[in-house]
Amino acid sequence: MNDKPVLLFDSGIGGLTVLREARVLMPERRFIYVADDAAFPYGDWEEEALRSRIVGLFGDLLAEHDPALCMIPCNTASTLVLGDLRATFPHMQFVGTVPAIKPAAERTQSGLVSVLATPGTVKRQYTRDLITQWATKCQVNLVGSVRLAALAETYMRHGFVEEEAVAAEIAPCFVERDGRRTDIVVLACTHYPFLANRMRKTAPWPVDWLDPAEAIARRALSLLPARSGDIPTGPDRAIFTRGEPDAATRSLIRGFGLAA
- Residues serving a catalytic function are 74, 189
Which of these, 123, 135, 129, lies nearest to 184 by C-alpha position?
135
Calpha distance 197→114 (Å, rounded): 18
Calpha distance 242→260 (Å, rounded): 12
Calpha distance 47→199 (Å, rounded): 29
The 112-117 sheet, strands edge to edge: 139-144, 112-117, 184-187, 208-210
Containing 186, the helix (H) or strand (E) segment is strand 184-187
Contacts of 196 (CB under 8 A, 6+ apart): 187, 209, 211
Q: Is 135 helix (H, G, I), strand (E, B) or coil?
A: coil
